[in-house]
Amino acid sequence: MTSTIEQITQKLVQQLQQGGQTQQQQRQQLQQLQQLQQLQQFQQLQQFQQQQQQQQQQQQAGSVKVYTGPKEGKFIINKHGKKVYIDRKSLANNLQYQKAKPKPKPKKAAKKPKA
């Protein structure tokens, strides 16, 4: 696309250098040049927008703080302020975080009957 734009602009410049053209031909060439400039500006704008979207996605992916606990492993703090433990696979694959299973409470010893 850009190579064809460059070829057209070169042809138009050569024709302008040759001279001896009518005003109508010059107007047509001027319109073509303006259209080409608008097209180039549009393409640059699209590239810029794509770069911004990529940067935003990267920032969103890296915005989660991952903490390391002493025994349980890595966890994040969710919007409710609770710890949500994650395993390495889900962190690497960017899957949903797995909630930690509650630890079983130690059972109390049965009371001896009074005699």
Structural domain containing residue 67: 62-102
The answer to the question of residue 115 being in a domain is no
Distance from chain centroid for Cα 13: 40
What is the value of pTM for the model shown?
0.35
Same domain? For 69 and 94 the reply is: yes
pLDDT score for 71: 56
Mapping DSSP to helix (H, G, I), strand (E, B) and coil, where does residue 76 land?
strand
Q: Is the separation of the CB atoms in 15 and 30 below 8 Å?
A: no
Measure the CA–CA gap between 18 and 20, rounded to whole angstroms.
7
Residue 54 pLDDT class (50, 70, 90 cuts): confident
Alpha carbon distance 52, 26 (integer Å): 39
Between 76 and 20, the more confident residue is: 76
The strand ranges marked E within 1-115 are 67-68, 74-77, 83-85
pLDDT at residue 50 above 80?
yes
Please give the structure tokens belonging to residue 112.
């001896």
Look at residue 110 and tell me if it is in a domain: no
Domain assignment present for 108: no
- Let me know whether 67 and 49 are in one domain: no
Is the pLDDT at 16 greater than 80? The verdict is: no
